[in-house]
């Protein structure tokens, strides 16, 4: 059954999370950055992975991204940081005020979004290519009540609903209620992650499907799954089975992708440790070598931030010296000058890392719903609805 297959991959991931290994921190940092980066890219706010990581680490400004895109990413980071703070809060409650607060954190940079406020009137979704209205949200006068009802139902400890289904339905309900002038998609994905981390599934960067949804080849299916349930306007009697199936498929593929990257990172890190030792490089150099090996640009500031997370702070001068030694060893190649300086993996280092990872085959969800959903507990026994009460499993 689909849910059991997702959980089986998560069990393998928990084994790695339990290991106090430094390389796992590097993997989780990149995964968290990609989740934020991807969720914003769906709404047209695009920044580099390096800037997404820098945003997580509190950088004051981007190195290569537009200011508006950077601000949108910072806002999403603030909201998600708060979500992670709430994961183990003993006094936690789902409330409309919480949704408005998260929305303010997320959209504070854009007054047109009415940060922290409900939308002032009607709202609809248009096809960006044709201009056709593809979805009309519920009336403004009933919308606050629908959000309240959703929050009440999320607060009920429904032991019959699996967290994956509850999270998917929370996402669906909020995006179709469409309570905000802007940021409804980001808020819905944020709520989905909140439901999962509150249920103790896994750390958000390991169980989120935001990276999967943000990939260009998947975005159209994301919209199609929502449209298949919505059918143009708020109608709670429609079945949400298409949407739940899509989310389970996304979770399965993303979980397998994360597990593959974690296993690859373990092997590559071992290789890099051998290389660093051969060249007499300090252990802290591993942070730069690993990022470079996966294709990221390494900068003095990002290197210092990464080392500070794992081993403690170092000075800019020490970082410059370390990076220079890695260049002399033929492991990194310097590009740019002065504040624009960055480093990439040398061809030799890149080729060795690629060889260690091996050839990747596409990850698919083939046979995920075998036996057929009608005979499986992977989906609600009764057709799921997108009303505010999550469906029974």
**Residue 299 belongs to a domain with what CATH number?**
1.10.10.10
pLDDT in tens, 127-156: 777 778 889 999 999 999 999 999 999 988
Domain assignment present for residue 184? The answer is yes
Question: Residue 218, Cβ neighbours under 10 Å: how many?
Answer: 20
Domain count, the chain: 2
Share of the chain above pLDDT 90, in %: 71
Domain assignment present for residue 273? The answer is no
- pLDDT score of 370: 55
Burial 331-349 (b: 16+ CB within 10 A, else e): bbbeeeeeeeebbbbbeeb
Does one domain contain both 198 and 240? yes
Whether the pLDDT of residue 373 is over 80: the answer is no
Does one domain contain both 115 and 248? yes
Domain assignment present for residue 373? The answer is no
Whether the pLDDT of residue 387 is over 50: the answer is no
Does one domain contain both 223 and 104? yes
Whether the pLDDT of residue 106 is over 80: the answer is yes
DSSP reduced 3-state for 30 = helix
Domain assignment present for residue 18? The answer is no
Domain assignment present for residue 371? The answer is no
Give the pLDDT band (50/70/90) at residue 74. very high
- Higher confidence at residue 339 or residue 271? 271
Closest alpha carbon to 189 in 53, 50, 37: 37
Does one domain contain both 200 and 146? yes
Encoded tokens for 383: 């057709």
Does one domain contain both 179 and 283? no
Whether the pLDDT of residue 38 is over 70: the answer is yes
Give the pLDDT band (50/70/90) at residue 158. low
Q: Which of 225, 256, 287 is the last residue of a domain?
A: 256
- How confident is the prediction for the chain on average, in pLDDT? 88
Does one domain contain both 169 and 204? yes
DSSP reduced 3-state for 91 = coil
Domain assignment present for residue 8? The answer is no
Does one domain contain both 142 and 105? yes
pLDDT in tens, 327-348: 999 999 999 998 889 999 999 9
Rg (CA), the chain: 22
The pTM (predicted TM-score) of the whole model is 0.88
- pLDDT score of 393: 36
- pLDDT score of 161: 81
- pLDDT score of 364: 79
- Higher confidence at residue 202 or residue 30? 30
Whether the pLDDT of residue 19 is over 90: the answer is no
Q: How far apart are CA 207 and CA 199, in angstroms?
A: 12
- pLDDT score of 134: 87
Residues in the chain, overall count:
393
Question: Which domain covers residue 352, as residue numbers?
Answer: 279-357
Domain assignment present for residue 377? The answer is no
Domain assignment present for residue 367? The answer is no
pLDDT in tens, 187-246: 999 999 999 999 888 888 888 999 999 998 898 899 999 999 998 988 888 899 999 999
């Amino acid at each position: 059954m689909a849910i059991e297959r997702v959980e089986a991959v998560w069990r393998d991931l928990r084994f790695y999370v339990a290991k106090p290994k430094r390389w796992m921190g590097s993997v989780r940092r990149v995964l968290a950055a990609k989740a934020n980066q991807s969720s914003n890219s769906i709404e047209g706010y695009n920044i580099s992975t390096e800037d997404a990581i820098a945003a997580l680490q509190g950088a004051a400004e981007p190195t290569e991204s537009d200011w508006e895109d950077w601000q949108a990413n910072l806002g999403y980071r603030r909201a998600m940081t708060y979500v992670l703070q709430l994961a183990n809060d003993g006094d936690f409650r789902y409330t409309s005020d919480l949704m408005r607060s998260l929305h303010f954190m997320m959209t504070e940079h854009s007054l047109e979004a009415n940060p922290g406020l409900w939308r002032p009137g009607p709202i609809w979704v248009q096809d960006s290519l044709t201009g056709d209205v593809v979805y009309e949200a519920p009336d403004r006068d009933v919308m606050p009540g629908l959000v309240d009802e959703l929050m009440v139902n999320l607060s009920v400890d429904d032991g019959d609903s699996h967290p994956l289904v509850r999270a998917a339905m929370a996402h669906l309900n909020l995006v179709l209620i469409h309570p905000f002038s802007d940021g409804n998609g980001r808020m819905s994905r944020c709520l989905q992650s909140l439901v999962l981390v509150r249920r103790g599934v896994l750390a958000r960067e390991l169980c989120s499907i935001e990276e999967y949804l943000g990939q260009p080849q998947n975005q159209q299916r994301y919209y199609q799954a929502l449209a298949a349930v919505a059918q143009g306007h708020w109608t709670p009697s429609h079945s949400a089975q298409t949407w739940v199936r899509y989310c389970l498929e996304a979770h399965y593929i993303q979980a397998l992708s994360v597990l593959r990257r974690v296993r690859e990172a373990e092997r590559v890190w071992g290789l890099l440790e051998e290389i660093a030792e051969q060249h007499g490089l300090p252990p802290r150099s591993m942070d730069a070598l690993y990022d470079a090996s996966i294709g990221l640009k390494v900068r003095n500031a990002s290197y210092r931030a990464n080392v500070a997370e794992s081993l403690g702070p170092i000075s800019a001068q020490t970082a410059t010296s370390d990076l220079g030694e890695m260049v002399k060893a033929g492991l990194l190649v310097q590009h740019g000058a002065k504040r624009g300086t960055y480093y990439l993996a040398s061809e030799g280092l890149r080729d060795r890392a690629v060889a260690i990872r091996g050839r990747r085959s596409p990850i698919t969800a083939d046979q995920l719903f075998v036996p057929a959903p009608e005979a499986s507990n992977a989906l609600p026994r009764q057709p799921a609805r997108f009303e505010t009460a999550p469906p029974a499993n």
